[in-house]
Structure 1
Amino acid sequence: MRLGYFSMPLHPLGRTWQETLAEDREAVILADRLGFHDAFIGEHLTDLHENITSSMLFLATLISDTEQILLATGTTNLSHQHPVLVAAHAAMFDHLSDGRFILGVSPGALPSDAEVLGILDEDRNRLFAEAIDVICAVWESEPPYRLNLPDNRFTVTTEQTIDLDLGVGVLPKPLQTPRPEIVGTVVAPYSKGVVAMGRRDFHPLSANFLLPQWVATHWPNYAEGKQAAGASADPADWRIARTIFVADDPAVAEGYGRADASSPYRFYYSQMLTKMRKIGRLGLFKTHRDQPDDEITLDHVLDRLVITGTPESVAEQIVDFRAETGDFGELVYAGLDWVDPRLARRSMELMTQKVMPSVNAAIGA
């Protein structure tokens, strides 16, 4: 099982933007040094806590400061910009990074982002589907393109202005062939979108804030999509994100990872719980569909979604989690605010040096 890194990220108010961006960069650089396979970075335009407005721009600053880690948008919100811009910028990033690029995509879920862009009343899932079709078609096509896809608002062509002798009218292609890996974040139980991912040979990343029982619903749908495309689903292509904190001392693990008022894990899930309650998605945290809303407390969420403890304990919890979800190829470690930089770094070190070797020994056996 591989180890990946994912960060939204989410910081408390009061810290400067310059400081939090520097910390987020340091976390990815550390992940590269420790041997993490990839790093996914999220983006939002209008959230003061989530400070990265463009995951691709942020990741571009890390190309020269990292050596082997794959740099992944996690996600590029496709409802926010014209798909030709995404295709062209992603292609350039792939060349700049020497092929260390993964395109992570989603519709974009934050309503205030949609409002500021004037698309609050638009069907953002449809925008997403239309955009990804255009991105793939641009990479597969040759100029002057003539892309007028059925039921798609985006028409792409350079027929009137192309001049191959002059080198204009031509969109760039990625370095990786036929294209970079495309990963879609899955945030809903029984997601039908993951069926479409299977058909298109995109790869799923199940969100860290989903209960294990809901994560387990993703794989059958992905396998269904692969089967519809005449292919077999490979568990190596399935990533699952989890919120994990590892410490040498069990009391420190429980306090920093869950119980202390200053715990970044407590802050993160307090924010997530408030947001999900506000937008009517509290069901993500429910153990059964008809569970009363008043049972979904912060401690209820923390107890079920934070894996914390010593390396031995965390390894056991991950193996138990895998028994509930089924086999998957990559565990994606969710990065949070570094309230205590020493503990945050040590947790990542323990994940690579002790936890993952134990997990892989156990599942190999």
Structure 2
Amino acid sequence: MRLGYFAMPMHPATRPWGETLREDQEAVVLADKLGYHDAFIGEHLTDRQESITNSLLFLATLIPQTTQIKLGTGTTNLSHLHPVLVAAQSAMFDHLANGRFILGVSPGALPSDAEVLGILGEDRNQIFADAIEVITRMWSDEAPYDIDLPGNRFKVTTATTMDLEAGIGAVPKPLQTPRPEIVGTVVAPFSKGVIAMGAKDFHPLSANFLLPQWVATHWPNYVEGRESVSATASADDWRVARSLFVADDEATALRYGKEDADSPYRFYYGKMLAKMRSLGRLELFKTRRDQPDDEITLDYVLDKLVITGTPSSVAEQVLALQEETGEFGELVYAGMDWVDADLGRRSMELMATEVMPEVNAAIAAGPEAAAVSAGA
């Protein structure tokens, strides 16, 4: 099982913007040094807590500061940009990063982002579907292109102006062939979008704020999508994000991960709970569809969604998670604000140097050994 990193990222609005940007950079540089496989960074235009406005621009600053980690948008919100811009800019990034690029995509869910762009009333899921078709065809087709999608939202060609002898009219292609890996974040239980991902050979990343029982519903749909194109799904292509905090002792883990009023995990899930309540999406935190809204308290959410403990305890909980969700290829560590930078760094270090070796040793020993380690 690989170890990855994901950050929305979310910080208190009272912190200086430059300070939080530098902290987010430092976290990815640390992940690179510790051998994390990849790092995904989110973006929003109008959220004071989630203050990275362009993940590709942010990640570009990390190319010279890192050596092996893959840099992924988490996500590029495809309703916000013309898809030709995404295709061309991502291709350049792939060359700058020498192939260490993953394109993470989504429609863009924040209503205030849509409003500021004047698309609040539009079908952003349809824009997303149109955009991803253009991006992948820009990377596979040759100029002058002939992309005219139903509804003609994005008609793409350079037929009138193309002059290949002069080097005019062709959008550059990525370094990776046939294209960079494309990853889609999955939030909804029983998501039908995962079927489409499977059919297109995009790879799912299940969100860290979704209960494990709902995460488990993603894989069967991905398998269905792969089978629809006569392909076989590989669990290596499934990423599962979790909120984890590892400490050298249980008391510190519990305090910083859940109980302390200044816990970054309490801050994160307090904001997420309020956001999902306002969006009418509390079902993400419910164990059953008819569970009353008033049962979804902050302490309830922290108990369900934050894994804390010493390295051995966290390893056991990760193995138990895989027992519940089914096999997946990458555990993605969800980054939080560094209220205590030393504890934040130490947690990432312990995940890489102690938790994952223990998890992978149990997996290598076989299902029965993994089940015993998970406390089954």
Q: Which TM-score applies when normalising by structure 1? A: 0.99
Q: Is the Cα contact below 8 Å between 1:206 and 1:215 reproduced in 2?
A: yes
Counterpart for residue 194 of structure 1: 194
Partners of 1:336 and 1:250 in 2: CA distance: 19
Indicate the SS of the match to 2:164. Answer: coil
Counterpart for residue 84 of structure 1: 84
Deviation at 1:164, TM superposition (A): 1.1
Deviation at 1:109, TM superposition (A): 0.5
Counterpart for residue 286 of structure 1: 286
User: Which amino acid in 1 is paired with 2:44?
Assistant: H
Partners of 1:241 and 1:286 in 2: CA distance: 18
Deviation at 1:363, TM superposition (A): 1.5
Partners of 1:180 and 1:248 in 2: CA distance: 38
Q: Deviations over 1:196-226 (max 9, x none)?
A: 0000000000000000000000000000000
Partners of 1:260 and 1:176 in 2: CA distance: 45
Q: Deviations over 1:257-280 (max 9, x none)?
A: 000000000000000000000000
Counterpart for residue 111 of structure 2: 111
Deviation at 1:148, TM superposition (A): 1.0
- Aligned positions of 1:1-365 closer than 5 A: 1-365=1-365
Q: 1:217 to 1:152 in 2, by over 3 A?
A: farther
Deviation at 1:153, TM superposition (A): 1.0
Deviation at 1:14, TM superposition (A): 1.3
Indicate the SS of the match to 1:28. Answer: helix
Q: Deviations over 1:308-332 (max 9, x none)?
A: 0000100000000000000000000
Q: How many residues are matched?
A: 365
Q: Deviations over 1:334-354 (max 9, x none)?
A: 001000000000000000110
Q: Is the Cα contact below 8 Å between 1:43 and 1:50 reproduced in 2?
A: yes
Q: Deviations over 1:156-177 (max 9, x none)?
A: 0111111111111110100000
User: Which amino acid in 1 is paired with 2:90?
Assistant: A
User: Which amino acid in 2 is paired with 1:15?
Assistant: R
Q: Is the Cα contact below 8 Å between 1:130 and 1:152 reproduced in 2?
A: no
Deviation at 1:151, TM superposition (A): 3.9
Deviation at 1:24, TM superposition (A): 0.2
Gaps of 5+ in 1: none
Q: 1:226 to 1:151 in 2, by over 3 A?
A: farther
Deviation at 1:152, TM superposition (A): 4.5
User: Which amino acid in 2 is paired with 1:327?
Assistant: E
Deviation at 1:20, TM superposition (A): 0.2
Partners of 1:363 and 1:308 in 2: CA distance: 21
Deviation at 1:150, TM superposition (A): 3.1
Q: Deviations over 1:92-142 (max 9, x none)?
A: 000000000000000001000000000000011111000000000111111
Q: Is the Cα contact below 8 Å between 1:186 and 1:194 reproduced in 2?
A: yes
Partners of 1:135 and 1:41 in 2: CA distance: 20
Indicate the SS of the match to 2:102. Answer: strand
Partners of 1:18 and 1:150 in 2: CA distance: 43
Partners of 2:151 and 2:64 in 1: CA distance: 41
Structure 1 segments (4+ residues) deviating >2 Å: 149-152
Deviation at 1:355, TM superposition (A): 0.2
Partners of 1:77 and 1:150 in 2: CA distance: 21
Indicate the SS of the match to 1:80. Answer: coil
For the aligned residue pairs, the C-alpha RMSD in angstroms reads 0.6
Q: Is the Cα contact below 8 Å between 1:257 and 1:264 reproduced in 2?
A: yes
Partners of 2:150 and 2:364 in 1: CA distance: 47
Percent of aligned positions with the same letter in both sequences? 73
Gaps of 5+ in 2: 366-376
Partners of 1:130 and 1:171 in 2: CA distance: 18
Indicate the SS of the match to 1:79. Answer: coil
Q: Please say which of residues 58-67 and 162-171 is displaced more in the overlay.
A: 162-171
Partners of 1:227 and 1:207 in 2: CA distance: 24
